[in-house]
Amino acid sequence: MPRPQRFKSGDTVKAFVKLGVQRECHWTKMEYVKRRGGAYVVKFHDQECSVSPEHIRGWKPLDDRNAAITKLDEGFPELVKYVERAVKELLPEKWQGVKVDHDEKIITLTASGMTIEAGIVETVNKSILGETCVEVAAWTVCSVHHVPATREDPPDCDIVDEGYSITTWGGAELIVRKTWEFNSARLWEAVGEEQMAAEYPDW
C-alpha cells in the first residue's frame, strides 16, 4: 500500500478517475478537497469523487513552458546533425529521406512520416510520499496512422505519440529506431501478403 501523500485543500492533483460519459478511467487534473478515512476526495468542476491512495498523484507543472521550449530548441542544430548521421549510417538508402524545417524546428523522416520537435511531456517521479506528475520539455516523436473509411465515417488519421527524450542524441536515436521498426514491420507484412497470394491465388 503506497504511503499517504500530503496535500492541502485547493491543490491541483492528478487522479485516476472516470468522469461523465467516459468509458474508462484516465489520469485527470483535479482539485484536492480533503482526506476522508483511507481515501482522498477530489473534484472536477462541481463533481466530487473519492479515490484510493494509489490513484492520486501530485502535480508539478513547468513554471514557464515557452522558456523551456526555447531552451530545448537551442539544441535543434545538434539534433539535425545526429539524425542525418544516424540515417546515413544505419538505414538503407531508400529510407534515408530527411526533411528539416528550420523555421518551425521540426524534422520529418519521409520513409515513415515520423516527426520530431520540442514539446511538453509528463514524467512520473516516485518518492517516499508517493508519485508526482512532473512536466518537462523534451524532444517528442509522433507518427500518423491512417484510419480507413467505414459506412458511417470518412477516412481519418490519428496522431500517435511514439515516445520522447530530454536529450538531443536520445531524440535522434528514438526517431531513427522507430522509423526502422515501422518500415521493417511494413516490409514483413508485404512479404506475408505475397506468400499468402502465392499459396492461395484464389483466396
Q: What is the set of domains in the chain, with CATH numbers? A: 12-57 (2.30.30), 65-198 (no CATH)
Mean pLDDT of the chain: 89
Other CB atoms within 10 A of residue 10 CB: 8
The Cα 118–Cα 77 span in angstroms is 13
pLDDT of residue 58 exceeding 60, the answer is yes
* 130-147 vs 114-127, strand pairing mode: antiparallel
Q: What pLDDT band is residue 145 in, cutting at 50, 70 and 90?
A: confident
Query: pLDDT tens, 67-107?
Result: 999 999 999 999 999 999 999 999 989 888 999 999 999 99
* 56-60 vs 130-147, strand pairing mode: parallel
pLDDT, residue 166, reads 95
pLDDT, residue 26, reads 92
Task: With beta carbons less than 8 A apart as the criterion, state whether 17 and 28 touch.
Answer: yes
